[in-house]
């Protein structure tokens, strides 16, 4: 029996490898974006065609997310991680040397599948390594910092390679980088001992499919999973407004330079890294998730109210300050809402639940939510209306719905009958 307060040997090394794998995922995910002007020139693309490149990868990834979790539960987190890295490596090669725009679209579909696998499997691996030591919060906090680090790597460091070798040669080098991570993961990544040494249940007799299905449906239907899905929809939906609308306003209305406005936009995920790790650590020690989630949801709501008020009074410096503040609350709540969901279902269904949450948030938060709020902005021709509408939605999605969540004690063995509670 493993002491719930003791660390498993090798868990921090495993977390570091999961971290690096997820950071590498940002190369195929967003790395090409700095070369869009040159790509448009070389392939005679318009902005609609460029937007379609992002949309097709988002669509294929969003459709794969729920199944990615199931694959992790069935094949193991390591195997799915390796599959994701291999798919992304191949997709990068196709992207680099495709003969026309249609092949480029095909490569983005392939990459969307691999990207989705790499957003689920490493997170599931981190949860498995830290579940028994009751440090899921800190492990997920560290993993969510990959959003900021991965963005910097993909949009700055990797862009230096693209500038030096061009977008085709640079994309091929990106494929090599991802493949190197495949080799490293194949050699060093492994499941935690309690998974690697797990014995078949029921004395080797296969568990009935009806029982497994009942447990799975109970797991994904738990109210804590609903709370996490709702929180992620709010964060990912408001993310595009925060990091695109605010820099645009600073440039158009206040005359800020592109570089300074872009730096402010980057502060959203970078500032959030502080809360992601800090709140995860404190939450693990307190054994509580819900209070932090509620504070995060309320903080996000007030931040967007602050955006609108700053815009009304034309206080653009205050508008800029609100952006990293909003990021602090968003990234403080995301890992803990996911941790509360995985606390509930245990590592047995953690991957399936993670894939479901990411998939719902990816489609609703990443596609439907921004379109709806963009329509409100266009209909009123006012940014302030969009910010107030976002604040209202965040109050519902990230605060009111979070009230129904319930902290549970994380244990190795879960009574699945309790999941329907």
Other CB atoms within 10 A of residue 221 CB: 11
Domain segments of the chain as ranges? 11-196, 212-407
Write out pLDDT tens, residues 112-133: 999 999 999 999 999 989 988 8
**pLDDT for 183:** 97
- The span from the CA of 311 to the CA of 249, in Å, is 9
Write out pLDDT tens, residues 19-46: 999 999 999 988 887 787 788 888 888 7
- The span from the CA of 45 to the CA of 50, in Å, is 7
In CATH terms, are 11-196 and 212-407 the same topology? yes
Write out pLDDT tens, residues 273-310: 888 888 898 998 888 999 999 999 999 999 999 999 99
- The span from the CA of 186 to the CA of 367, in Å, is 34
Q: What sign does the dihedral 294-297-302-305 (CA atoms) show?
A: negative
Q: Identify how many contiguous H helices and E strands the chain contains and give both numbers.
A: 18, 0
- Is residue 47 predicted with pLDDT exceeding 50? yes
Say whether 249 sits in a helix, a strand or coil.
helix
**Closest Cα to residue 275, out of 334, 339, 331, 335?**
331
- For range 326-348, the mean pLDDT: 90
Q: What sign does the dihedral 112-114-118-121 (CA atoms) show?
A: positive
**pLDDT for 253:** 81
Pick the CATH number of 11-196 from 1.10.645.10, 3.40.190.10, 1.20.1250.20, 2.60.40.10: 1.20.1250.20
0.85 exceeded by pTM: no
- The span from the CA of 306 to the CA of 48, in Å, is 33
How do the residues of the chain divide into helix, strand and coil, expressed in percent and rounded to 5?
85, 0, 15
Instruction: Tell me yes or no: is domain 212-407 CATH 1.20.1250.20.
Output: yes
**Residue 100 half-sphere exposure toward CB, CA atoms < 13 A:** 1
Burial (CB count within 10 angstroms: exposed 0-12, middle 13-18, buried 19+), residue 233: buried
Write out pLDDT tens, residues 313-327: 989 999 888 988 999
Other CB atoms within 10 A of residue 5 CB: 9
Pull the structure tokens for residue 297: 């949801």
Pull the structure tokens for residue 275: 């809360």
């Amino acid at each position: 029996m493993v002491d719930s307060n003791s660390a498993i040997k090798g868990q921090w090394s495993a977390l570091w490898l999961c971290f690096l794998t997820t950071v590498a995922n940002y190369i195929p995910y967003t790395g090409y974006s700095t070369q869009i002007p040159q790509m448009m020139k070389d392939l005679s693309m318009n902005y609609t065609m460029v937007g379609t490149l992002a949309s097709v990868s988002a669509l294929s990834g969003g459709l794969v997310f729920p199944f990615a979790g199931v694959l992790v539960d069935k094949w193991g987190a390591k195997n799915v991680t390796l599959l994701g890295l291999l798919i992304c490596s191949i997709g990068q090669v196709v992207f680099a040397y495709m003969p026309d725009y249609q092949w480029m679209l095909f490569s983005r579909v392939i990459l969307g599948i691999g990207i989705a696998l790499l957003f689920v499997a490493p997170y599931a691996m981190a949860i498995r390594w830290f579940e028994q030591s009751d440090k899921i919060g800190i492990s997920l906090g560290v993993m969510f910092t990959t959003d900021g680090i991965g963005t910097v790597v993909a949009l700055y460091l990797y862009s230096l390679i693209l500038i030096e070798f061009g977008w085709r040669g640079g994309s091929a080098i990106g494929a090599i980088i991802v493949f190197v991570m495949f080799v490293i993961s194949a050699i060093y990544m492994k499941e935690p001992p309690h998974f690697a040494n797990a014995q078949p249940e029921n004395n080797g007799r296969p568990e009935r499919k009806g029982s497994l299905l009942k447990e799975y449906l109970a797991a994904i239907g738990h109210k804590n999973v609903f709370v996490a899905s709702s929180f992620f929809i709010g964060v990912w939906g408001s993310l595009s407004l925060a990091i695109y609308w605010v820099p645009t306003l600073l440039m158009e209305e206040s005359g800020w330079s592109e570089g300074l406005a872009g730096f402010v936009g980057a502060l959203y995920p970078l500032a959030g890294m502080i809360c992601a790790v800090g709140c995860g650590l404190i939450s693990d020690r307190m054994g509580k998730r819900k209070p932090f989630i509620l504070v995060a949801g309320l903080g996000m709501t007030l931040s967007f109210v602050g955006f609108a008020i700053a815009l009304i009074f034309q206080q653009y410096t205050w508008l800029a300050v609100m952006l990293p503040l909003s990021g602090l609350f968003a990234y403080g709540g995301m890992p803990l809402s996911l941790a509360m969901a995985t606390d509930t279902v245990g590592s047995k269904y953690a991957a399936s639940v993670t894939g479901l949450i990411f998939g719902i948030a990816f489609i609703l938060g990443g596609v439907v939510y921004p379109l709806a709020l963009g329509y409100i902005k266009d209909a009123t021709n006012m940014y302030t209306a969009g910010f107030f509408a976002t604040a209202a939605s965040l109050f519902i999605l990230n605060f009111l719905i979070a009230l129904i969540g319930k902290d549970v004690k994380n244990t190795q063995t879960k009574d699945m009958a309790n999941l329907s509670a």
